Amino acid sequence: MILPQIFAEADMNFFQQFWEIATNVQSYVEKWVGELGPWAVTGILCLIVFCETGLVVMPWLPGDSLLFIAGSLCAPVITEPLSFGWLLLLLPLSAILGDNLNYWIGKFTGPKVFRREKSFFFNAEVLHRTQKFYEKHGGKMVLLARFVPLVRTFAPFVAGVGGMDYRKFLGYGILGSFFWVLVCSGAGLLFGNIPWVKEHFDYIVLAVICISLAPAAFAFIQARARMRKGQKAAGGNSRES
């Protein structure tokens, strides 16, 4: 009984620490800047962005909020500010490298995983539909997914699974990565040090996440409505025949 209790307490401590950091990202990053220096923190930010975009098992890492905080730490009022110019260069490059890692993992594993004809998720029909989708909408998906939490982690992997043309994937990925960092970090630079924003930062992060997820939720609802409409139409046709 003692061993399971130890593991349970360890799990609780881990989640408590994770939640503490996740809800106080700004104070932790500011603390790291003071203790480690601007360049070390820039490296840590690049590593986090790379992992969030490059490792399909890490969609929970902060993205938009982290870039906003990074931009706010570039302001002249900061004692040891980060370099906004270097952020605009290094963070997109980290995102691009992560995207490419994720793409090639999907490209390599997809055909091997999606061979099971009887599997509900991993079957050839799902692979075929994914390929058709990315042939038609791949560019928009890669570009817009950059601004949607969770989706931006899975989109490059699924693009690889779907066999999206690599040059097209790379072009849209580069464009999306630089635009993403510019928008989020630029917003942090302009508004991140306003007292009201700093006092209500947790709520602002929550609002940003909700706004980012809204298009995906809306698209899902539309797709469900179209599917139900198609099923009703198919049912009506079968009864008539």
Answer yes or no: are the C-beta atoms of 44 and 32 closer than 8 Å: yes
What would the mean pLDDT of 147-169 be, rounded to a whole number?
A: 83
Does residue 213 surpass a pLDDT of 80?
no
Estimate the crossing angle of helix 84-113 against helix 151-161, to 10 degrees.
Answer: 50
Q: Are 45 and 98 in contact (CB under 8 A)?
A: no
pLDDT of 123:
47
N- to C-terminal Cα distance for the chain? 65
Q: Where are the domains of the chain?
A: 2-228
Q: Are the C-beta atoms of 161 and 106 separated by less than 8 Å?
A: yes
Interatomic CA distance for residues 162 and 183, integer angstroms:
29
How many whole angstroms separate alpha carbon 207 and alpha carbon 213?
A: 10
Q: Kindly give, in sequence order, each residue whose CB lies less than 8 Å from that of residue 107, ignoring residues fewer than 6 positions away.
A: 160, 161, 163
Provide the pLDDT for residue 203. 73
pTM above 0.85, yes or no: no
Query: What does 150-186 look like in DSSP terms, one character per residue?
Result: THHHHHHHHHHHTT--HHHHHHHHHHHHHHHHHHHHH
**Predicted pLDDT at 137:** 64
3-class SS shares of the chain: helix, strand, coil, % to 5:
80, 0, 20
